[in-house]
Amino acid sequence: MQKYSKIQIYYFSGTGNAYNIAKWFAAKSNEKGISTTIINIAGIKEFPIEKPSDNNLIVFISPVHGFNYPPVMISFINQFPKGNNDIVLMNTRAGMLINKYITPGLSGISLYYSLLILKLKGYKIVGMNAFDMPSNWLSLHPSLNEKTVLYIHLKMKAKAEKYADLYSNAKTSFPVFYEIVQDILIMPVSLGYYFIGRFILSKTFYANSNCDNCDLCIIKCPVKAIIKLENRPFWKLKCESCMRCMSQCPKRAIETAHGFIFLIALAFNLLINRTIISIFPSTTPFMESFVYEWILQAILFILFLLLTYRISHYLLKFIWYERFMVYTSFTFYKFWGKRYKALKNI
């Protein structure tokens, strides 16, 4: 039974994983005779968004960042108009491969928060699905080889087509509910990333001396988080760590500052934390509260990081410092692998 006259897919994508799922889903839905469009939310400049027609199925898909939707998708869903349409929530997670088994990522609260907000707006959730696309977070691990990337793409394409066929026939699907216990358990990590972690990660990127100022990273950034400062790309706090800049750079000039972050964390622990302890002895009520102590440390660390990142950006003009940054970055070395881009012709 065909229930929908049209399907609208709103997506956010850094290196192309979520875009591929949206594309495969749309192609299958169109094949089934349902007009399907995909809309990049990063390209939407004006709000409020027009309310969708009642007989349209609405699909949201985005990568998981810190076990949650990235802020750009959360903000979009928060501003989405009220309605009574059927909604499907999807995400792409960090998939790996062991033999022929694709190891699942973790959705965290990404789908559940959106479920709550959209239910309050009057929508009916008819599906929640996760896709374990190749992990693109090269700041944390080496890249996957081409054979692995291709294998995962083919498996996830078949999965996207299966769900497109299912929803085209007005069925429902909630396989993520089988993972709800582990998703609830990592909720504190999700919250910690949203309020603190993402700001720290935004200050881990820099451009080495291979940068020829083509400004492609600035132009391609989906949330306009990169500016030109002192004739070099500079990452602002609004960076989503989507890895698009790193994957798109034709000179492979963008690196992750592993050595810098290690030294800053060490300096903060030795200098700032000791100052906190001397000012607030452990016997005071303030320091007896782990939560208050942790919040204070997090705020001070971000402020410390902002200052030192700005200084580091200035020092990059000196070759000795630039070489230090390069040689202490894992992403510089060949063993870390190639930059990741989702395959296009699948």
Segment 294-338, tens digit of pLDDT: 777 888 899 999 999 999 999 999 999 999 999 999 999 999 999
Please state, as a whole number, how many other Cβ atoms lie within 10 Å of the Cβ of residue 185. 11
pLDDT tens across 44-77, in order?
Answer: 877 778 888 889 999 999 999 999 999 999 999 9
Token pair in block for residue 249: 């750079």
| Mean pLDDT confidence for 80-100 | 94
Planar angle of CA 158, 41, 331, nearest 5 degrees: 70
Per-residue pLDDT at 47: 72
**pLDDT, position 288:** 55
CB of 276 closer than 8 Å to CB of 300:
yes
Whole-number pLDDT of residue 7: 96
Q: Is 166 a residue whose pLDDT tops 90?
A: yes
Average the pLDDT over 154-172 and give the result.
95
Q: What is the pLDDT of residues 170-205, one digit of tens each?
A: 899 999 999 999 999 999 999 999 999 999 999 999
**pLDDT tens digits along 233-247:** 999 999 999 999 999
315 contact partners, CB below 8 Å, separation of at least 6: 321
- The pLDDT > 70 percentage for the chain reads 93
For the chain, domains (ranges, CATH) are 6-187 (3.40.50.360), 194-336 (3.30.70.20)
Structure confidence at residue 270 (pLDDT): 84
How far is residue 43's CA from residue 224's CA, in Å, rounded to a whole number?
11
pLDDT digits (tens, 9 = 90+) for 211-228: 999 999 999 999 999 999
CA 92/CA 94 separation, integer angstroms = 7
Question: 43 pLDDT band (50/70/90 cuts)?
Answer: confident
- How confident is the model over 117-139, as a mean pLDDT? 96
